[in-house]
């Protein structure tokens, strides 16, 4: 059976200017496709373009040149309303998640289910959350079931990070784009959280793309790893074909290469 492509980058370039003088190439000549149900880890040195890549993936940033296709549709050539509806099929978690401090955990998690829902229904659902059992299940996936009635501001940084991951579980998304989900987690929690996300994504046949600083987790648990360096795709392949030397070159600076 043929597997459909959910995302396609075609000659994708993204530039921006610093003080209207120096042009910075955030992403350069990206040409990759992502199939439905794929699980992909994106790795690379700090500032290489991983976050920009994820934002481009969910069409939060418009390309300078080239295009991104979502189900063969260019989101930048349709109306803002249609683009918003397309984006409601995607769950994105940023590296530094923001959660209202006085919000209860169950409401914070349930918010992941409200993409594409009108404002009145969203407000009502946050005041009187539905599907509490589903929220409990999502929290239990990340060892937080006992925190369901806590206030967000009473949680640790790592717990707040996992709240955002629980949001992904309750969402109705077909694509998860998760930026540095393990940044505030200890090694055991980090690996457990990735395994939970992968298991659920596989069960639902949804696409899971995440940026990671933990290279060992990327190589151990993902069948496809994309390396980004200085805004360019440095490699895109199976971890079984990625050598130690290739990883060293990915993280090596220009001064170290000379």
Q: Is the pLDDT of residue 61 over 90?
A: yes
> Which domains are seen in the chain, by residue range?
1-89+203-257 (3.40.50.300)
Position 36 scores a pLDDT of 96
> What percentage of the chain reaches a pLDDT higher than 90?
70
Q: 189 vs 112, 129, 158, 192, 217, CA distance in Å?
A: 21, 27, 9, 5, 12
Average pLDDT on 209-220 reads 96
Position 255 scores a pLDDT of 53
- Residue 1 structure tokens: 């059976």
157 pLDDT band, cuts 50/70/90, is: confident
- Tell me 211's DSSP state: E
pLDDT, tens digit (0-9, with 9 covering 90-100), for 40-52: 999 999 999 999 9
């Amino acid at each position: 059976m043929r597997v459909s492509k959910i995302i396609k980058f075609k000659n994708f370039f993204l530039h921006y200017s610093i003080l209207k003088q120096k042009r910075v190439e955030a992403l350069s000549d990206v040409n990759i496709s992502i199939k439905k149900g794929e699980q992909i880890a994106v790795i690379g040195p700090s500032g290489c373009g991983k976050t920009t890549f994820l934002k481009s993936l969910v069409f939060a940033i418009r390309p300078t040149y080239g295009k991104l296709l979502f189900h063969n549709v260019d989101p930048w050539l349709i109306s803002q309303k249609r683009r918003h509806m397309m984006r409601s099929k995607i769950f994105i978690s940023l590296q530094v998640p923001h959660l209202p401090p006085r919000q209860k955990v169950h409401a914070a998690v349930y918010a992941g289910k409200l993409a594409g829902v009108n404002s009145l229904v969203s407000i009502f659902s946050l005041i009187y959350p539905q599907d509490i059992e589903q929220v409990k299940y999502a929290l239990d996936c990340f060892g937080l079931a006992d925190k369901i009635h806590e206030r967000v501001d009473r949680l640790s940084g790592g717990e707040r990070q996992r709240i955002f991951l629980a949001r992904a579980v309750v969402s109705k998304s077909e694509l998860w784009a998760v930026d540095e989900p393990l940044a505030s987690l200890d090694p055991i929690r980090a690996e457990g959280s990735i395994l939970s996300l992968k298991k659920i994504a596989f069960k639902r046949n949804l696409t899971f793309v995440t940026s990671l600083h933990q290279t060992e987790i990327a190589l151990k648990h993902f069948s496809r790893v994309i390396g980004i360096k200085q805004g360019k795709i440095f490699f895109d392949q199976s971890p079984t074909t990625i050598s130690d030397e290739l990883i060293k070159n990915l993280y090596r600076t220009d001064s170290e290469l000379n």
